[in-house]
Amino acid sequence: MDVRRVKDYLYWLYYQYQLVTCSYVLEPWEQSMFHTITVTVLAMVVYTAYVFVPIHVRLALQFFSQIFGPQPESAV
């Protein structure tokens, strides 16, 4: 993979991010504050999903296994 193409693609993604969030119209200090808050919120969402989603999935599986009961063994 060409390094220049990857670099151009990352610049394009950043440009799309700026267009979607309209952060290109902000002053530089406002952009840095906006990006800091955005990255912080995104990091908290990822951390929360990493910590709590597996617990909730396990509890949901336990709940549904209790509702539907043990599965009968198949006759081979």
Residue 7 is predicted with a pLDDT of 95
Number of structural domains (the chain) is: 1
Domain presence at residue 71? no
8 is in which domain, residue-wise?
3-66
**What distance in Å separates the CA atoms of residue 26 and residue 32, rounded to the nearest whole number?**
9
In a 13 Å sphere around the CA of 26, the CA atoms on its Cβ side amount to 13
**What distance in Å separates the CA atoms of residue 36 and residue 43, rounded to the nearest whole number?**
10
Residue 71 is predicted with a pLDDT of 66
Domain presence at residue 61? yes
The pLDDT tens digits of the residues spanning 30-56 come to 999 999 999 999 999 999 999 999 999
pTM above 0.75, yes or no: no
